[in-house]
Amino acid sequence: NMASTAAGKQRIPKVAKVKNKAPAEVQITAEQLLREAKERELELLPPPPQQKITDVEELNDYKLRKRKTFEDNIRKNRTVISNWIKYAQWEESLKEIQRARSIYERALDVDYRNVTLWLKYAEMEMKNRQVNHARNIWDRAITTLPRVNQFWYKYTYMEEMLGNVAGSRQVFERWMEWQPEEQAWHSYINFELRYKEVDRARTELVLIHPDVKNWIKYARFEEKHSYFAHARKVYERAVEFFGEEHMDEHLYVAFAKFEENQKEFERVRVIYKYALDRIPKQDAQNLFKNYTIFEKKFGDRRGIEDIIVSKRRFQYEEEVKANPHNYDAWFDYLRLVESDTDAETVREVYERAIANVPPIQEKRHWKRYIYLWINYALYEELEAKDAERTRQVYQACLELLPHKKVWLLQQFGLSFGKCPKHKLFKGYIELELQLREFDRCRKLYEKFLEFAPENCTSWIKFAELETILGDIDRARAIYELAISQPRLDMPEVLWKSYIDFEIEQEEYEKTRSLYRRLLQRTQHVKVWISLAQFELSVGQKERLPRCRQVYEEANKAMRSCEEKEERVMLLESWRSFEDEFGTSATKERIDKLMPEKIKKRRKLQAEDGSDAGWEEYYDYIFPEDTANQPNLKLLAMAKLWKKQQQESEAAAMDPDKDIDESQT
């Protein structure tokens, strides 16, 4: 054994050792081998020769060989259904329908759960117009595999195409017993609607699939067919079905919109209030939005503020009203509205917040205030995606805040350091004017006036720019917009500029209309005098009567004026006019209107209520005032008595003088 083992070991050849392990000079890759094989076409097989069948025997022989091939493939692997389908389709191509049926039946015995097999089998029967056979196959398929929706769809479609509406409905009803998916129910509903069977279309879909969207579709279906009472009943059933534990805002929004279409506005409010009281605020954003839109359409502003605003928002409103400089409350309020409302509401709250400038120059207040501007700009840039408004916020911030840092405006290409109020806009507008960029000047003025609408100087400059550019209508529109602002810092300057503008344009009727509108707002004596001087300066024939008429109106209007000095100023201006242009009659009339200046005394009181002596002052008594007529008569009698006293004293000192003559 030892010897045989030793001999066996000697017979095993030794592995040749590779002495030279250096890489070959020419390297061959797998890609190169494949490319060479492709070029040489080593693996291409020649196509089989075409066979032409000339007689029946050759055909039968061909069929026999082909069937043998198919049967061999089936016998090798019975579970490969593609072999069965190819075999049946080949028999079908030879019009051997009976053989194809036999093959399909054998295949079904092998795997009756194969969906493709049933579909091919039924399609073959339908293709060859074997309707009853196809019905038989579909019926077997839906009985065997009732959860395969494709069988039901094709079965109902075939029956409908054949015009067998009753048969198709029967199939649908059998299908619905299995409680299929939503799309199957919708197919059944659409089938009934195609044949105007609205009553049959009211299915039990909402009970089988009780989703909110299905309830809404059901109600809209009733509304579409003008069954409004049924639609309302569907919505009420849905609300009752979901209860208060599973409330969904989409259901209540749809219900409210339905009632809104029916002009039932009170019902809409009740629906919204009911939902808002029970749905958490974070889940009711769409509900809030639609309720706000509804109130804007059909409600008043106070109702919107009182009803729609949530309890937290109302609380923040109260806090900022009590202390407008409580910036922490503003931050919380802004955080709330950013997460709950639309962009316009957020901007409105931001504008209200930044309007509360710190009253004193203390760093701790300005450190909080500046973050309002920063958050505003970040909101416009990141949330609203509005680059133009972001630039506007930065411009206004740079103009208002006396900050030490230099802020770069990327779009403008300018850098500003520490700047006083309005410097940013004014400087940039001046730059654009020098560059003759008038369109950009307009945009800058618009943004400037959005930020500071009370600045009359900016309105005037804007209108003057349009006048210089020759756009008179635009300038007039700017003036109109300016005088309609609720708050202006120098309204008298603005009105004077507007009036001068119309005078320059020689629009005298419009100028008169402007004066009348101004007099409706203020009855200041300077306005009346200015109007009279305007009437005197325009027109040739009618200027004096018009001017005199203005003075007449002014005098009547100012009878009730408490400032008698202003009335005296008006009468003096009138007398100057009559002295220059009037007749003796008009001069005599104005002299009669001039008041009597008298000295009076009144008692003064100190702050503690004690007497502080008497004070002399001058008062005016106008002859026109009927209430002052007794005073004038008394004054005249007092003057006459004083004169008589003086003359009596003089006569006593000089007895030779005739007193009666002096009295006469």
Nearest to 355 by CA among 364, 367, 347: 347
Q: Regarding predicted confidence, which is higher, 596 or 39?
A: 39
Mean pLDDT (whole number) for 435-451: 75
Nearest to 332 by CA among 319, 343, 348, 321: 319
DSSP per residue, 79-115: T-HHHHHHHHHHHHHTT-HHHHHHHHHHHHHH-TT-H
Element containing residue 604 per DSSP (H, E): strand 596-605
Q: Regarding predicted confidence, which is higher, 578 or 624?
A: 578
Mean pLDDT (whole number) for 481-496: 80
Contact indicator for 441, 432 with CB cutoff of 8 Å: yes
Residue 119: CA count within 13 A, CB half-sphere: 12
Long-range contacts of 531-537 (CB under 8 A, 24+ apart): 532/573, 532/574, 532/577, 534/499, 534/503, 536/577
Residues 421 and 399: their CA atoms lie apart, in Å, by: 5
C-alpha torsion angle, residues 449, 451, 457, 460 (rounded to 10): 0
Angle at 410 between CA 404 and CA 415, to 5 degrees: 35
Bridge partner residues of 414 (DSSP): 409
Q: How confident is the model at residue 421 (pLDDT cuts 50, 70, 90)?
A: very low
pLDDT digits (tens, 9 = 90+) for 495-537: 788 788 887 888 878 877 777 877 777 777 777 777 777 777 7
Q: State the chain's mean pLDDT as an integer.
A: 75
Query: Is residue 405 pLDDT above 50, yes or no?
Result: no
Q: How confident is the model at residue 268 (pLDDT cuts 50, 70, 90)?
A: confident
Tokens of 191: 């089938």
Query: Is residue 418 pLDDT above 60, yes or no?
Result: no
Tokens of 608: 């503690």
Residues 525 and 534: their CA atoms lie apart, in Å, by: 14
pLDDT digits (tens, 9 = 90+) for 550-559: 777 777 776 7
Q: What percent of the chain has pLDDT over 90?
A: 0
Query: Is residue 403 pLDDT above 60, yes or no?
Result: no
pLDDT digits (tens, 9 = 90+) for 129-167: 888 888 888 888 888 888 888 888 888 888 888 888 888
Phi, psi of 284 (to 5 degrees): -125, 30
Residues 464 and 504: their CA atoms lie apart, in Å, by: 12
Question: Which pLDDT score is estimated for 533?
Answer: 73
Residues 25 and 42: their CA atoms lie apart, in Å, by: 27
Q: How confident is the model at residue 204 (pLDDT cuts 50, 70, 90)?
A: low
Query: Is residue 659 pLDDT above 60, yes or no?
Result: no
Query: Is residue 460 pLDDT above 80, yes or no?
Result: yes
Query: Is residue 417 pLDDT above 60, yes or no?
Result: no
pLDDT digits (tens, 9 = 90+) for 224-264: 767 777 778 777 777 777 777 777 777 777 887 877 777 77
Mean pLDDT (whole number) for 382-402: 79
Question: Which pLDDT score is estimated for 232?
Answer: 80
Neighbours of 455 (CB within 10 A): 21
Residues 514 and 319: their CA atoms lie apart, in Å, by: 43
Question: Which pLDDT score is estimated for 414?
Answer: 38
SS3 letters for 168-204? Answer: HHHHHHHHHCCCCCHHHHHHHHHHHHHCCCHHHHCCC
Residues 520 and 557: their CA atoms lie apart, in Å, by: 11
Q: How confident is the model at residue 394 (pLDDT cuts 50, 70, 90)?
A: confident
Contact indicator for 485, 454 with CB cutoff of 8 Å: yes
Mean pLDDT (whole number) for 114-140: 87
Element containing residue 600 per DSSP (H, E): strand 596-605
pLDDT digits (tens, 9 = 90+) for 337-358: 877 667 888 888 888 888 888 8
Q: Regarding predicted confidence, which is higher, 1 or 339?
A: 339
Q: In this structure, is the dihedral angle defined by the CA atoms of residues 331, 333, 336 and 337, taken in order, positive or negative?
A: negative
Nearest to 399 by CA among 427, 371, 374: 427
Q: What percent of the chain has pLDDT over 70?
A: 76
SS3 letters for 21-85? Answer: CCCCCCCCCHHHHHHHHHHHCCCCCCCCCCCCCCCHHHHHHHHHHHHHHHHHHHHHCCCCHHHHH
Nearest to 123 by CA among 163, 131, 108: 131
Mean pLDDT (whole number) for 431-453: 74
Query: Is residue 663 pLDDT above 60, yes or no?
Result: no
Residues 249 and 286: their CA atoms lie apart, in Å, by: 7
- With a CB cutoff of 8 Å and minimum separation 6, the contacts of 624 are 555, 559, 593
Query: Is residue 630 pLDDT above 70, yes or no?
Result: no
Question: Which pLDDT score is estimated for 412?
Answer: 42
Mean pLDDT (whole number) for 183-209: 72
SS3 letters for 255-279? Answer: HHHHHHHCCCHHHHHHHHHHHHHHC
Query: Is residue 117 pLDDT above 60, yes or no?
Result: yes
Q: How confident is the model at residue 113 (pLDDT cuts 50, 70, 90)?
A: confident
Task: Identify the weakest region by mean pLDDT among 263-267, 379-383, 414-418.
Answer: 414-418
Element containing residue 619 per DSSP (H, E): strand 611-621
Residues 259 and 248: their CA atoms lie apart, in Å, by: 17
Question: Which pLDDT score is estimated for 625?
Answer: 61
As a whole number of angstroms, the longest Cα–Cα distance in the chain is 199
Query: Is residue 313 pLDDT above 60, yes or no?
Result: yes
